[in-house]
Chains A and B, each alone.
Chain A
Amino acid sequence: MTGSPRAGLSDVILASVFFSALYMLGFEVLTPFEAELFAYIVWVASFLYGYFALLLGFDYVRVKSSPTLSFIAAVLALYEIIVIFTGVSGVLRLLAVAFSPFVGLVSLGALREWFSSIKSQREIAKVGFGYRVKSAFYQLDRTMWFFFITGFIYLVAFMLIPILIVLLYSFTPPTGGEWWANFYTVLRTPGYVNLKPLYAEPFKKITLPSGECIVVLRGVNYGPVLNSIIIAAIVTATTTILGTFVAFILARYRFPGHTLLRVLAIIPLFNTPFINAYVIKLLWGEYGPISTLLRAITGCSLRIEGLAGVAVTQILSFYPIVYLNAYTSFINVDPSMEEQAENLGAKGFKLFRSVTLPLALPGIVAGSILVFVFSLEDLGAPIVFNERELMSYRIFSGLTTVYGQVSPEIAALGIVMLVFALIAFLAIRNYVSMRSYAMISRGGRWNPRIRRLGRLGVVLVYLLVFPLVVFTALPQIGVILMSLRVLKPYIGVSGLEIGISEDPLYSFRRILSDPDIYKYVTNTVIYAGVAVVIAAFLATCIAYSVSRIKVKSITSVLDSLAVAPLAIPGLVFALGYYILFSGLGRILPVQIGARISPASPAFEAWLVFILAYSVRRLPYVVRSVFAGFQQIHENLEEAALNLGATRLKMVFGVILPLIMGYILSGSLIGFIYMVTEVSTSVTFGGIRQEQAPLTFFMKQYYTGFAGLGPEVVAAIGSILIALQLIVVIVIVYVFKQRYAFIGI
Chain B
Amino acid sequence: MTRVTLKDVSKYYGSIVAVDHVSFTVEKGELFTLLGPSGCGKTTTLRIIAGFETPDTGRVYFDDDDVTFLKPYKRNTAMVFQNYALWPHMTVFDNVAYGLRVRKRELKLSENEIKKRVMWALELVKLKGLEHRYPLQLSGGQQQRVALARALVVQPRILLLDEPLSNLDAKLRIEMREELKRLQKSLGITTIYVTHDQVEAMSLSDRVAIMNKGKIIQVGTPRDLYFNPKNLFVADFLGRSSIYRGEVLVQEGNGAIVKLEDTDITVRGVTPEKTLPNKVAVVIRPEVMKIGSSEDSKDTVVKGTLEFAMFVGDKVEGRVKIGNLKLLVYLPNTQEVRIGDEVTLTIPWRNTIILPLELE
Q: Which residues of A contact B (CB under 8 A)?
A: 120-121, 123-128, 131-132, 134-135, 138, 141, 633, 635-636, 638-647, 649, 653-654, 657-658
Can you name the residue of chain B whose Cβ is closest to the Cβ of A649? Answer: B102
Q: Which residues of B contact A640 (CB under 8 A)?
A: 87, 98, 102
Q: How far is the CA of A496 from the CA of B206 in the complex (A)?
A: 90
The 6 closest A-B CB pairs, nearest first, are A643-B99, A635-B85, A639-B85, A645-B102, A127-B56, A135-B54
Can you name the residue of chain A whose Cβ is closest to the Cβ of B79? Answer: A642
Q: How far is the CA of A399 from the CA of B98 in the complex (A)?
A: 57
Known: A141-B71, A643-B102, A643-B150. 15 other contacts (CB 8 A): A124-B15, A131-B57, A138-B69, A633-B83, A639-B79, A639-B85, A639-B150, A641-B72, A642-B51, A642-B160, A643-B73, A643-B98, A644-B154, A647-B73, A658-B89
Q: Which residues of A contact B52 (CB under 8 A)?
A: 638, 641-642
A638 touches B85 (CB 8 A): yes
B73 touches A644 (CB 8 A): yes
Q: Which residues of A contact B150 (CB under 8 A)?
A: 639, 643
B15 touches A120 (CB 8 A): yes
A658 touches B81 (CB 8 A): no
Does B41 interact with chain A (Cβ within 8 Å)? Answer: no
Q: Which residues of A contact B102 (CB under 8 A)?
A: 640, 643-646, 649, 653
Q: How far is the CB of A103 from chain B (nearest CB, A)?
A: 29
Does B55 interact with chain A (Cβ within 8 Å)? Answer: yes
Q: Which residues of A contact B74 (CB under 8 A)?
A: 644
A131 touches B55 (CB 8 A): yes
Q: How far is the CA of A131 from the CA of B12 in the complex (A)?
A: 12
Q: Which residues of A contact B75 (CB under 8 A)?
A: 642
B73 touches A646 (CB 8 A): yes
> Could you tell me the dominant secondary structure of chain A's interface residues?
helix
B57 touches A642 (CB 8 A): no
B54 touches A658 (CB 8 A): no
Does B128 interact with chain A (Cβ within 8 Å)? Answer: no
- A642-B73, A643-B154, A644-B73 known; A127+B78 contact, CB < 8 A: no
Q: How far is the CB of A395 from chain B (nearest CB, A)?
A: 43
Q: How far is the CB of A118 from chain B (nearest CB, A)?
A: 11
Q: How far is the CA of A641 from the CA of B52 in the complex (A)?
A: 9
Q: Which residues of A contact B54 (CB under 8 A)?
A: 131, 134-135, 138
A633 touches B57 (CB 8 A): no
Q: How far is the CA of A121 from the CA of B15 in the complex (A)?
A: 6
Q: How far is the CB of B99 from chain A (nearest CB, A)?
A: 3
Does B204 interact with chain A (Cβ within 8 Å)? Answer: no
Q: Which residues of A contact B77 (CB under 8 A)?
A: 642
Does B313 interact with chain A (Cβ within 8 Å)? Answer: no
Q: Which residues of B contact A658 (CB under 8 A)?
A: 87-89
Q: How far is the CA of A138 from the CA of B69 in the complex (A)?
A: 7
Does B218 interact with chain A (Cβ within 8 Å)? Answer: no
Can you name the residue of chain B whose Cβ is closest to the Cβ of A660? Answer: B89
- A124-B15, A638-B52 known; A644+B76 contact, CB < 8 A: yes
Q: Which residues of A contact B106 (CB under 8 A)?
A: 644
Can you name the residue of chain B whose Cβ is closest to the Cβ of A131? Answer: B56
Q: Which residues of A contact B88 (CB under 8 A)?
A: 658
B79 touches A128 (CB 8 A): no
Q: Which residues of B contact A654 (CB under 8 A)?
A: 87
A645 touches B73 (CB 8 A): yes
Tally chain B residues at the interface, Cβ within 8 Å. 38
B154 touches A657 (CB 8 A): no
Q: How far is the CA of A690 from the CA of B7 in the complex (A)?
A: 70
Q: How far is the CA of A44 from the CA of B103 in the complex (A)?
A: 67
Among the interface residues A132, A644, A647, which one has the most CB atoms of the partner chain B within 10 A?
A644
Does B14 interact with chain A (Cβ within 8 Å)? Answer: yes
Can you name the residue of chain A whose Cβ is closest to the Cβ of B102? Answer: A645
Q: Which residues of B contact A653 (CB under 8 A)?
A: 98, 102
Q: How far is the CA of A131 from the CA of B69 in the complex (A)?
A: 10
Can you name the residue of chain B whose Cβ is closest to the Cβ of A136? Answer: B54
Q: How far is the CA of A163 from the CA of B12 in the complex (A)?
A: 38
Q: Which residues of B contact A (CB under 8 A)?
A: 12, 14-15, 17, 50-52, 54-57, 69, 71-79, 81-83, 85-89, 98-99, 102-103, 106, 150-151, 154, 160
B14 touches A128 (CB 8 A): no
Q: How far is the CB of B96 from chain A (nearest CB, A)?
A: 10
B78 touches A124 (CB 8 A): no
Listed by A's residue number, 23 A-B pairs whose Cβ atoms lie within 8 Å are A124-B15, A126-B56, A126-B57, A128-B57, A131-B57, A135-B54, A135-B56, A138-B69, A635-B81, A635-B82, A635-B85, A639-B85, A639-B150, A642-B50, A642-B73, A642-B75, A642-B78, A643-B99, A644-B103, A644-B106, A644-B154, A653-B98, A658-B87
Q: How far is the CA of A653 from the CA of B89 in the complex (A)?
A: 10
Q: Which residues of A contact B12 (CB under 8 A)?
A: 124-127
Q: How far is the CA of A127 from the CA of B99 in the complex (A)?
A: 34
Q: Which residues of A contact B57 (CB under 8 A)?
A: 126-128, 131
Q: Which residues of A contact B14 (CB under 8 A)?
A: 121, 124
Q: Which residues of B contact A126 (CB under 8 A)?
A: 12, 56-57
B76 touches A657 (CB 8 A): no
Can you name the residue of chain B whose Cβ is closest to the Cβ of A646? Answer: B73
- Among A131, A134, A641, A657, the residue within 8 A (CB) of B73 is A641
- A131-B56, A642-B72 known; A635+B83 contact, CB < 8 A: yes
- Among B69, B89, B103, B151, the residue within 8 A (CB) of A134 is B69
Q: Which residues of A contact B160 (CB under 8 A)?
A: 642
Can you name the residue of chain B whose Cβ is closest to the Cβ of A135? Answer: B54
Can you name the residue of chain B whose Cβ is closest to the Cβ of A643? Answer: B99
Q: How far is the CA of A657 from the CA of B160 in the complex (A)?
A: 27
Q: Which residues of A contact B55 (CB under 8 A)?
A: 131
Q: Which residues of B contact A657 (CB under 8 A)?
A: 89
Q: How far is the CB of B290 from chain A (nearest CB, A)?
A: 48
A638 touches B98 (CB 8 A): no
Q: Which residues of A contact B78 (CB under 8 A)?
A: 642-643
Q: Which residues of B contact A641 (CB under 8 A)?
A: 51-52, 71-73
A636 touches B87 (CB 8 A): yes
B50 touches A638 (CB 8 A): yes
Q: How far is the CA of A128 from the CA of B57 in the complex (A)?
A: 7
A638 touches B81 (CB 8 A): yes
Q: How far is the CB of B131 from chain A (nearest CB, A)?
A: 17
B85 touches A633 (CB 8 A): yes
Q: How far is the CA of A89 from the CA of B55 in the complex (A)?
A: 58
Q: How far is the CB of B48 from chain A (nearest CB, A)?
A: 11
A638 touches B79 (CB 8 A): yes
Can you name the residue of chain B whose Cβ is closest to the Cβ of A657? Answer: B89
Q: How far is the CA of A132 from the CA of B87 in the complex (A)?
A: 32
Q: How far is the CB of A495 from chain B (nearest CB, A)?
A: 60
Q: How far is the CB of A550 from chain B (nearest CB, A)?
A: 8
Q: How far is the CA of A640 from the CA of B56 in the complex (A)?
A: 24
Q: Which residues of A contact B15 (CB under 8 A)?
A: 120-121, 123-124
- Among B71, B72, B76, B85, the residue within 8 A (CB) of A636 is B85
Q: Which residues of B contact A649 (CB under 8 A)?
A: 102
Q: How far is the CA of A159 from the CA of B56 in the complex (A)?
A: 36
Can you name the residue of chain A whose Cβ is closest to the Cβ of B50? Answer: A642
Q: How far is the CA of A654 from the CA of B55 in the complex (A)?
A: 27
Q: How far is the CA of A126 from the CA of B103 in the complex (A)?
A: 39
Q: How far is the CA of A644 from the CA of B100 in the complex (A)?
A: 8
Can you name the residue of chain A whose Cβ is closest to the Cβ of B89? Answer: A657
Q: How far is the CB of A652 from chain B (nearest CB, A)?
A: 11
Q: How far is the CA of A636 from the CA of B84 in the complex (A)?
A: 9
Can you name the residue of chain A whose Cβ is closest to the Cβ of B52? Answer: A638
Q: How far is the CA of A128 from the CA of B55 in the complex (A)?
A: 11
Q: How far is the CA of A213 from the CA of B158 in the complex (A)?
A: 89
Q: Which residues of B contact A128 (CB under 8 A)?
A: 56-57
Q: How far is the CB of A3 from chain B (nearest CB, A)?
A: 30
Q: How far is the CA of A120 from the CA of B98 in the complex (A)?
A: 44
Q: Which residues of A contact B154 (CB under 8 A)?
A: 643-644
Q: Which residues of B contact A638 (CB under 8 A)?
A: 50, 52, 72, 79, 81, 85
Can you name the residue of chain A whose Cβ is closest to the Cβ of B82? Answer: A635
B99 touches A644 (CB 8 A): yes
Can you name the residue of chain A whose Cβ is closest to the Cβ of B95? Answer: A639
Q: Which residues of B contact A127 (CB under 8 A)?
A: 12, 56-57
Q: Which residues of A contact B51 (CB under 8 A)?
A: 641-642
Q: How far is the CA of A635 from the CA of B74 in the complex (A)?
A: 17
